[in-house]
Amino acid sequence: MALLSLLVLAQPIAAKQFPPQGIYKKGRCIEGDSLKTIDPEASLKLFQRCKADLLHKGDTLGAIDIINRISKIHGNHARYKMAYDGYWEALDLATKANLEYARGTIYYKIGQTYGYYKKINKSLNYLNIALDINKKLVEAGEIHKNELINNYLGMVALYRQNQMPFEAQKYLDSCFQILPPTVTPVESPYVFFEKGYVLSETGDPEKAISISKEIIPWFQKNTPSYLVLVYAYLADYYKVQNNFQASENYYLQSIETSAKNHSHIDFSSLVHKKLSDLYAQIGDFKNAYISLGEAKSLDDQFFDSRSPSNTGLLEIQDLFRLEKEKQEELLQQQRLETLEHKDRVSFLQKVILAIIIVFGAFIGGVYIRTRIKKFKSEKEYLEKKQALEVQKAQDVLEIKNKELIASTVQLIEKDELLIHIKTQLKELKKHDQKTPVNKLIKNIDFHSTRNWNVFEKRFIQINTGFYERLKAKFPTLNHNDHRLCALIKLNMSSKEMASLLAISVESVHTNRYRLRKKIQLDRSGNLEDFIGNI
């Protein structure tokens, strides 16, 4: 699941500001700022009015600042497409106005957005663009080098989200190379928050706990909404030490802080899952079941296709179809323009012929060469434009498939927990025949079947026509073969396939072998590539 909260990044320590190019300014839309944690929707309305007013006055930098704040609110409420669209709108304004610092900040945000969908390479590409822009501004003396801390922390947070602590350590070291050797956690709390994570993952959870407790008062005073993350990771550190009581308390504080500040709401789903795992680990299956239900409720609210809060996600899923239609219309328009252009060229050739007769071959030859050169330039422009449209459509399809894989992994994790609870319920049943566990076991079995139905519905929405092409090419395949092909197309592991299909890993391997025989794929052929190209 792509979580905006996992990638909220740090602010640099106080640094001397050179010619003021910073985007955020407290004086802009004070009313909107004051409501963003109390009534986010009212805050959005005020920000929209402020944006329109700033654009009308010609204050492009101010409008970019407001657009970024609007996108941040959308992201905190899992409306990722609206946040994504806002950043690209801001980038267009910054590019036209030649605002380099603003462009760097927006590329940084776009890199974060790609990180939500586990597109590490794409995310790093945009984060590096932002870093290069700021390095040039530092060299030119337009901003202080402390501004680079934000960029390095962007890399750290991306690797933290993807559980890659050693890669995160490299960029964290870059932050400390900029900071003075005597810097304390309170002076740079965001950097030390990331340091706590790296310490815990590399074998020193006790030090991670100490750092986290030291920076909590600063966040309580300055940025209380960020405590959603601080508390959740602090709970993780205590869990590693088997201090389950402290871990439970901080998970609950994280959830309470999210609700109180209307912030990192989508991250609360992950916290509920972690809390459910904790309860299951200590044998409190009742609370484990309740927490798992809360997580599912939040997932349905933000990520289920039927949820009103998830219209942005549906728009992303449908974006490929809309872009394809737009591309076809564009191609048709280009063909008409090409025909019209050819007609014009033909007419001009006749005119040129008359001119050649009157004024001579030399003048006519020069004119023809000029027209041909212009025609080639227009053709190259159209071809480049078409290639960009195709690339954009491919990027959208990649995003949608990553969303489907992420949601499927969530279903697998929930199933694994349900299977564990089911096993425990069966043990209870052996010792107490009056315990009403049969109904719970049946509900778990029904939930597992429903998970597949939800997955298959989303798969069909994204990969339109896949099953039809598969049936046409291999009519002998049965329904179970179709399911297996769908999971192979998404590059799922054998373990994930086994969990989603409710079979053993050995059965998955057997089914893959039988599938290769049915489609007559020899041993040298790659099954994933073959299915992926259908």
The Cα 520–Cα 351 span in angstroms is 63
| pLDDT tens string 478-519 | 988 998 998 898 888 888 888 878 788 999 999 999 999 999
Side-chain half-sphere of 471: how many Cα atoms within 13 Å?
A: 8
Can you read off the two tokens belonging to residue 508? 């998955």
Looking up tokens 């092409």 gives 469
Side-chain half-sphere of 479: how many Cα atoms within 13 Å?
A: 3
Alpha helices in 97-240 (DSSP H): 100-116, 120-139, 148-161, 165-178, 189-201, 205-222, 227-240
The Cα 356–Cα 362 span in angstroms is 8
| pLDDT tens string 308-334 | 444 444 344 444 344 445 555 656 666
Residue bearing the bigger pLDDT, 224 or 403: 224
Mean pLDDT of 373-396: 78
Residue bearing the bigger pLDDT, 108 or 75: 108
Instruction: Look at 235-249, 251-265, 284-298, 452-466 and tell me which has the smallest mean pLDDT.
Output: 452-466
The Cα 408–Cα 424 span in angstroms is 25
Structural element, H or E, at residue 421 = helix 361-431
| pLDDT tens string 443-468 | 666 555 666 777 778 888 888 888 89
The Cα 231–Cα 270 span in angstroms is 13
Residue bearing the bigger pLDDT, 179 or 339: 179
Among candidate residues 517, 277, 520, 313, the one with its CA nearest the CA of residue 417: 277
Is residue 79's pLDDT more than 80? no
Provide the pLDDT confidence category of residue 20 given band limits of 50, 70 and 90: very low
| CB proximity list for 386: less than 8 A, separation 6 or greater | 327, 330, 331, 334
264 touches 5 (CB < 8 A): yes
Residue 375: other Cβ atoms inside 10 A: 14
Alpha helices in 12-119 (DSSP H): 30-35, 40-57, 60-76, 80-96, 100-116
Mean pLDDT of the chain: 80
Can you read off the two tokens belonging to residue 12? 């640099």
Instruction: Look at 164-168, 308-312, 391-395 and tell me which has the smallest mean pLDDT.
Output: 308-312
Encode burial over 97-130: b for 16+ CB neighbours within 10 A, e otherwise. Answer: eebbbbbbbbbbbbbbbbbbbbbbebbbebbebb
Residue 362: other Cβ atoms inside 10 A: 9
Write down the pTM of the prediction: 0.53
Mean pLDDT of 293-302: 76
The Cα 69–Cα 53 span in angstroms is 15
Can you read off the two tokens belonging to residue 493? 């592991």
DSSP designation for 143:
S
Among candidate residues 292, 269, 278, 274, the one with its CA nearest the CA of residue 440: 292
Among candidate residues 136, 84, 29, 40, the one with its CA nearest the CA of residue 396: 84
Among candidate residues 394, 390, 317, the one with its CA nearest the CA of residue 80: 317
- The pLDDT assigned to 305 comes to 43
Is residue 12's pLDDT more than 50? no
The Cα 222–Cα 390 span in angstroms is 45
Instruction: Look at 224-228, 258-262, 316-320 and tell me which has the smallest mean pLDDT.
Output: 316-320
The Cα 236–Cα 250 span in angstroms is 9
- The pLDDT assigned to 442 comes to 65
| pLDDT tens string 334-356 | 666 776 777 777 788 888 887 78
Among candidate residues 140, 56, 162, 147, the one with its CA nearest the CA of residue 104: 147
The Cα 425–Cα 444 span in angstroms is 11
Mean pLDDT of 46-52: 89
